[in-house]
Structure 1
Amino acid sequence: MNAGICALILAAGEGTRMRPLTLTTPKPLLPVGGAPLLDRAFALVDGLDTAVNAFHLSDQIVAHVGNRAHVEVEKELLGSSGSVGNLRGWIAGRAVLVLNGDAYLHGGDLSVLLDGWDGDKVRMLGVPAGDEPFAFGAHVFAGASLLPWRVVADLEPVLSHLVLTAWRPAERAGLLEVREFGGTYVDCGTPADYTRANALAAGRG
């Protein structure tokens, strides 16, 4: 599958809004429907050469990943952009599909991000924005984006976020494509959303 594309699962965040659960367990290892979020992320990028970044409780992430992926333990939090920049040597000229390790994508997959891609534009998975103020056109970010190497090559390993270094610049240049996710996206960043994700996984959503 897509030899010129690799994947990065972002799993370094401290999950402060999810405390006390994340005091002892990294957020990507919290279960949704009986499976850790990180394992659900692996299923979404199955077939792609994959890296996982880690910082908070990194020993647990390293042990859980095992030999399934390259693990990059960060010495400090770098944000989504800095984490990609920190892995430029590993990405090595490829495009990269960046997936949030706390994203729960119910009822769909990431094929919409890859199908028919021209290899040059930045792509973002999106869901309808509604009244969300931080929209990209009619959509808001839904946990995953696809970056061409020309964008990755300019990212530095310093604290920053893709919304500032990749998505908004691409939008201003007319080089951003938002691809709508056909299912339900839940950012498991708060206890309420984590509960919602588990309800969906159990068929109660």
Structure 2
Amino acid sequence: MTTEICALILAAGEGTRMRPATLTTPKPLLPVGGVPLLDRAFALVGGLDTAVNAFHLADQIVAHVGDRAHVEVEKELLGSSGSVGNLRGWIDGRAVLVLNGDAYLHGGDLSVLFDGWGGETVRMLGVPAGDEPYRFGRHVFAGASLLPWRVAGNLEPVMSHLVLTAWRPAEAAGTLEIREFAGTYVDCGTPADYATANALAGRPAIGRAG
């Protein structure tokens, strides 16, 4: 794989289902196993040139990130797709790894997204769907996707989501590749899921640390 790749960590959301905790702390700064989710996201993207978007309690995100990444403070919430579109100038022809800032990935890393990638397809990290209705084949989204520039460069800086502008269109065109995550994925969107993530973090990870 020779395609140049950057990363975007999505950290702008208001975390309404996690209130009251998120009234004073952005959800990506909530700790899992004593480590802020945003710091876990930085560990997952490794050495990639990285941007972080911010909106809700943006000053806390800016201060926490420091000089580790470019921070884009949005004037309004743009959703996952609009946030990529808003950073087209910064992405500047590169492919982009888009990672949810509230994703907890236990027992694995993101290498499966990059292995053998030719630079043209849309890739999505997935876990087996089980009974989940919002699926892609036999999988559901697991917090990260990889967009080639031909897709990222056409996204607009308006409120929208990647499921509508990138993933489903790629699925329909036969250019969506699901790469299965070997560990456990937790979307820390609710208090119950957040508690699950912390319980997992209290146990040794199986395989590579996430």
For Structure 1 versus Structure 2, the TM-score category normalised by the shorter chain is: over 0.9
Q: Deviations over 1:63-115 (max 9, x none)?
A: 00000000000000000000000000000000000000000000000000011
For residue 153 of structure 1, report the CA deviation from its aligned partner.
1.1
Q: Deviations over 1:8-27 (max 9, x none)?
A: 00000000000000000000
What is the aligned partner in structure 1 of residue 72 from structure 2? 72
What is the aligned partner in structure 2 of residue 129 from structure 1? 129
| 3-state SS of 1:144 partner | strand
Q: For structure 1, which runs of at least 5 residues remain unmatched after alignment?
A: none
| 3-state SS of 1:80 partner | helix
Q: Distance in 1 between matches of 2:2 and 2:110?
A: 13
For residue 3 of structure 1, report the CA deviation from its aligned partner.
6.7
What is the aligned partner in structure 1 of residue 171 from structure 2? 171
What is the aligned partner in structure 1 of residue 208 from structure 2? none
For residue 2 of structure 1, report the CA deviation from its aligned partner.
6.4
What is the aligned partner in structure 2 of residue 191 from structure 1? 191
Q: Deviations over 1:162-191 (max 9, x none)?
A: 000000000000000000000000000000
Q: Once the two structures are aligned, what percentage of the paired residues are identical?
A: 85
Residue identity opposite 2:200 in structure 1 = L
Q: How high is the TM-score relative to the length of structure 1?
A: 0.98
| Contact persistence 1:97–1:145 (CA under 8 A) | yes
Q: Which of structure 1's runs of 4+ aligned residues deviate more than 2 A?
A: none
Alignment of 1:91-130 (within 5 A): 91-130=91-130
Q: Distance in 2 between matches of 1:2 and 1:100?
A: 24
For residue 204 of structure 1, report the CA deviation from its aligned partner.
8.7
| 3-state SS of 2:99 partner | strand
Distance 1:2 1:14, change over 3 A: farther
Q: For structure 2, which runs of at least 5 residues remain unmatched after alignment?
A: 206-210
Q: CA RMSD in A?
A: 1.3
Q: Distance in 1 between matches of 2:132 and 2:16?
A: 22
Q: Distance in 1 between matches of 2:196 and 2:61?
A: 24
Q: Distance in 1 between matches of 2:170 and 2:2?
A: 23
| 3-state SS of 1:72 partner | strand
For residue 203 of structure 1, report the CA deviation from its aligned partner.
1.3
Aligned length: 205
Residue identity opposite 2:63 in structure 1 = A
Q: Distance in 1 between matches of 2:167 and 2:120?
A: 13
| Contact persistence 1:2–1:48 (CA under 8 A) | no
Q: Deviations over 1:128-161 (max 9, x none)?
A: 0011111000000000000000001110000000
Q: Distance in 2 between matches of 1:46 and 1:172?
A: 31
Residue identity opposite 1:17 in structure 2 = R
What is the aligned partner in structure 2 of residue 138 from structure 1? 138
Q: How high is the TM-score relative to the length of structure 2?
A: 0.96
| 3-state SS of 1:6 partner | strand
| 3-state SS of 2:136 partner | coil
What is the aligned partner in structure 2 of residue 149 from structure 1? 149
